[in-house]
Amino acid sequence: MSLMQIAEPGQSLAPHARRLAVGIDLGTTNSLVASVINGVAECIPDAQGELLLPSAVHFSADTIEVGSTAKTRAATDPEHTFISIKRLMGRGLDDVQQMKPALPYRFDPTETAVPRMSTPRGWMSAVEISAEILKPLKARAEARLGGDLVGSVITVPAYFDDAQRQATRDAARLAGLHVLRLLNEPTAAALAYGLDRQAEGLIAVYDLGGGTFDISILRLRQGVFEVIATGGDTQLGGDDFDQAIALWLMERAGLGMSPATPLNAGDQRHLSRTACAIKEALTGKEQTCARLDLRGETLWTGCLTCSEFNALADPLIERSLAACAQALKDADIQASEIQEVVMVGGATRVPRVRERVSAFFGRDVLTDIDPDKVVALGAALQADVLAGNKSADEMLLLDVTPLSLGLETMGGLVETLIPRNTTLPVARAQDFTTFKDGQTAMSLHVVQGERDSVENNRSLARFSLRGIPPMVAGAARIRVTFQIDADGLLTVSAQEKITGIHAEIQVKPSYGLSEENVEQMLRNAFDHASDDVQARRLREARVEAARSLEALDSAMTSDAALLTDIDRPILNAARALLTQAIQGEEAQAIHEAVEHLENAALPFIQRRMNQAVSRALAGHSVDEMVTQMRR
């Protein structure tokens, strides 16, 4: 009898087959893709052996060019050549048009939320253009790995907000990539160096790319990275070092010194390439010699020494160190507390940069991994785990909550305890109280979503806390704690502080929740933001009114003897007015009715207070009461 091949529920028929996943560094200047191959993370080159893909896209009527060929079009067709498109991701039209230097693109004036730019192939958004950069990275990975990808981890700057992160996800989806996770770039760099295997510590990630500089301060606790401060300079990068050398060359060659000898775009591009070549040739040497050829003639021949270059570079490096100092101040730590400094970005190859950064932090910087590759390699390691190729115990799965989590409160409102995009694991606690006198139990309703009212959110779980000591309304203190572990499991617990009675429930917030569900809930929250504010005000006013009526009825019952014939009709009329206001839709009208009721009840309240004081003083001398108060 032949055997039948079977598998456990939820497992592949070939459980040991390797799932193909990649890490992608979608950079401002360059992008690249990496994967774990034969147990080692490595970057994947294109057919020509190039690892770095310039983040440039050129549109013509017939073709879309990406990478180096597109980059060369910037001088001749700047309007349709898109460079540094990452800066536009998730930004509105007003933000984009205020960027410096001014962008050469023509924008669709009718699209303000998601700016679209004119191309020979129609209007294109930053998301669509970024997708064109991702497509060749996906293609080269599938060609190298020999199959379709199950997913990808894409890195983003730590300072990216919700809109920018969602735009990155959208770009990946358009490129045919399934996003397993978005990973902060500094976290990816730290993972590449295996810093997650340390117990705890403070890590600085110094990221000097081609066009931008970022500094991130991370705190590591039990394998979890927390970004505690970020900073940088969006107008500082390796290109500025090239520009400094180019200006030095122009001065030596006497170029551009008069209106009669202006430099055209081709001259400037050639000058920049020459400056970059000199910078790279000088690395590790005392000097390098070169010549500047322009328009068919040699304009300058000479040498640039290391000390001369350092003098050119120091003002730029100083700007980066000023940003580092500010980040440390924001994190409320000293440079001496940093345990590791990770260098990221091609410009950190410059020896002077490493020297100055090392001196600033007072320790050797980490440069063992190619700074151009380190982010992609870290993302690849994370993707390998998320794809299921390794035990999750080998690397903590860093994540964030996709939607806010909270509790239902009186009036059907939601009190958020954990906002969306909070890094996991996380624990948050808040105190709640009872609504009615003598209340001995509390029902807790856990919800997920971004709306203010319970019915517009997702119900996760319900449980009860019983055994609360009977007290007047508002006297009890119930501590409710939301705790999410690294695997996304939510534990909600409630504890009454006096007796210590406790109840809890566990739930998986992400169960049955697709990306489309998340997007729809976020979209609904945005679309109904103004309506939700008004609805919340009305419900809060109704809760306040109900509490006032509850307190009045209780007082009129327990101290009926203190009511006069004048009090009753006044209080009943004020009560009727408030009851009528509660049925309406105006929060302000309810607040005014509550205030009217409180003023009407003031004589009655004063008599109750006088009675309570008299009872407390009965049988005691003034001296005894003074002594008791002092105690």
Secondary structure string (H, E, C) spanning 61-84:
CCCEEECHHHHHHHCCCHHHEEEC
Q: What is the pLDDT of residue 508?
A: 61
Q: What is the pLDDT of residues 193-224, one digit of tens each?
A: 988 777 688 999 999 988 789 999 988 876 67
Q: What pLDDT is stored for residue 626 in this prediction? A: 55
Mean pLDDT, residues 444-458: 83
Cβ atoms within 10 Å of 612's Cβ, excluding its own: 11
Is 185 known to be catalytic?
yes
**What is residue 408's predicted lDDT score, i.e. its pLDDT?**
86
Distance of alpha carbon 339 from alpha carbon 362, whole angstroms:
10
Q: Which of 3.30.420.40, 3.30.70.360, 3.30.2020.30, 1.20.950.20 is the CATH number of 15-193+371-391? A: 3.30.420.40
Q: What is the pLDDT of residue 298?
A: 80
Mean pLDDT of the region 80-109: 85
Q: Which residue from 32, 10, 35 is spatially nearest to 20, judged by alpha carbons?
A: 35
pLDDT of residue 259: 47
Average pLDDT over residues 233-260: 80
Half-sphere exposure in the Cβ direction for 416 (13 Å, CA) = 16
State the architecture of 405-513 in CATH terms: Sandwich (2.60)
Confidence tier at 12 by pLDDT (50, 70, 90): very low
The pLDDT value recorded for residue 450 is 84
Listed in order, the ranges of the chain carrying CATH 2.60.34.10 are 405-513
Per-residue model confidence as pLDDT tens digits over 558-592: 777 777 777 778 877 888 887 788 777 777 887 88
- Using alpha carbons, select from 423, 415, 483, 420 the residue that is nearest to residue 444: 415
Residues carrying CATH 3.30.420.40, the chain: 15-193+371-391, 196-368
Instruction: List residues bridging with 43 in a β-sheet.
Output: 34
Residue scoring higher pLDDT (382 or 593)? 382
Catalytic residue among 46, 128, 185, 239: 185
Q: Decide if 548 contacts 593 (C-beta within 8 A).
A: no
Supply the pLDDT for residue 294.
Answer: 77
Residue 299 burial by Cβ neighbours in a 10 Å radius (0-12, 13-18, 19+): middle
Q: Is residue 206 within 8 Å of residue 320, measured between CB atoms?
A: yes
Inter-residue contact 367 to 357 (CB < 8 Å): no
C-alpha 371/C-alpha 369 separation (Å) is 6
Question: What are the tens digits of pLDDT across the range 611-629?
Answer: 776 766 666 655 665 555 5
The winner for highest mean pLDDT among 50-54, 247-251, 394-398 is 50-54
Active-site annotation holds for 565: no
Q: What pLDDT score does 200 carry? A: 81
Under the banding of pLDDT at 50, 70 and 90, the label for residue 364 is: very high
Amino acid 8: pLDDT: 40
Q: Report how far residue 374's alpha carbon sits from residue 25's, in angstroms, rounded to the nearest whole number.
A: 9
Which pLDDT does position 420 carry in this prediction? 76
Peptide bond into 425 cis (omega under 30): yes
Span 196-368 CATH architecture? 2-Layer Sandwich (3.30)
Which is higher by pLDDT, 606 or 407? 407
Is 308 catalytic? The answer is no
* CATH architecture of residue range(s) 530-617: Up-down Bundle (1.20)
Residue 198 or 61, more confident: 61
Percent of the chain past pLDDT 70, that is, above it, reads: 84
In this structure, the number of other CB atoms found within 10 A of the CB of residue 326 comes to 14
pLDDT at 5: 36
Q: Is 25 a catalytic residue?
A: yes
Q: Say if CB 291 and CB 275 are below 8 A apart.
A: no
Residue limits of CATH 1.20.1270.10 in the chain:
530-617
The arithmetic mean of pLDDT across residues 53-70, rounded, is 94
User: When comparing pLDDT for 138 and 609, which is higher?
Assistant: 138
Q: In this model, does residue 485 exceed pLDDT 80? A: no
Interatomic CA distance for residues 58 and 78, integer angstroms: 9
For the stretch 403-421, what's the b/e string if a residue is b when 16 or more beta carbons lie within 10 angstroms of its beta carbon? bbbbbbbebbbbebbbebe
Active-site position among 132, 196, 207, 242? 207
Residue 30: enclosing H or E segment and its boundaries? strand 30-37
Confidence of residue 87 (pLDDT cuts 50, 70, 90): confident
Kindly tell me the number of DSSP H helices and DSSP E strands found in the chain. Answer: 16, 25
Mean pLDDT of the chain, nearest integer: 82
- Contacts of residue 76, defined as CB under 8 A and 6 or more positions apart, other chains included, come to 265
pLDDT over threshold 70, residue 4? no
**Candidate list 86, 138, 279, 373, residue with the active-site label:** 86
